[in-house]
Amino acid sequence: MNTERTSQYAAAVVAIATAEDAVDAVEDELLTVARAIEGTDDLRQRLTDQHLPVGRRLSFIETDVLTAAHPATRSTLAMLIAADRVGELPAIADEVARRAAAAREEEVAEVRVAVPLDDARQAALKGALERATGRKLDLKVVVDESVVGGVRARIGDEVIDGSLLRRLSDLRARVGA
């Protein structure tokens, strides 16, 4: 989802992060928080519940989890909470990542894996995806327990599904089971 409002918020976040020389940190931290909010019903409910006072929702930013975050990340989250736009954070974070990658002449590749990858495996995966697509990529790895072995990558509108579940599904289709 890329609305004009999402685009404007993302542009503002990128401008602030650029001024603070923290684009990479803000980009990564916002994506991490956005994925946490998407994956946790309770957290999403607490941050989007307009019946809770804004001050109570803003207390999320002062949690131990976010104290190490860059001040620009925390300011962005505060702005979105106060404006009742936390529900749009995933789309805004995706647009921030896309804009930051474009500034580096890269495209975002969101890769979902079942278990965390070490740096060497991430580098190897990035190289393989760059060779397969012919594009320079900014790899964003998301641990997703629904991925059964292998990886599932989304690069723009293109999806590369190398998960074990997908391969088994393809095999079933070929043998007519």
pTM reported for the whole predicted model: 0.80
User: Which CATH architecture best describes the domain 4-100?
Assistant: Orthogonal Bundle (1.10)
Q: Where are the domains of the chain?
A: 4-100, 106-175
User: In terms of DSSP H, where are the helices of the chain?
Assistant: 4-19, 23-39, 41-48, 54-58, 64-67, 71-82, 89-103, 119-133, 164-175
CATH of the domain spanning 106-175, picked from 3.40.30, 1.10.10, 1.10.3470, 3.40.50 = 3.40.30
Residue 36 near residue 86 (C-beta atoms within 8 A): no
From first to last of its 177 residues, the chain has per-residue pLDDT tens of 558 999 999 999 999 999 999 999 999 999 999 988 888 888 888 888 888 999 888 888 887 778 889 999 999 999 999 999 999 999 999 999 999 999 999 999 999 998 889 999 999 999 999 998 899 999 999 888 888 778 888 998 888 887 666 666 766 777 875
144, 111 Cβ separation under 8 angstroms: no
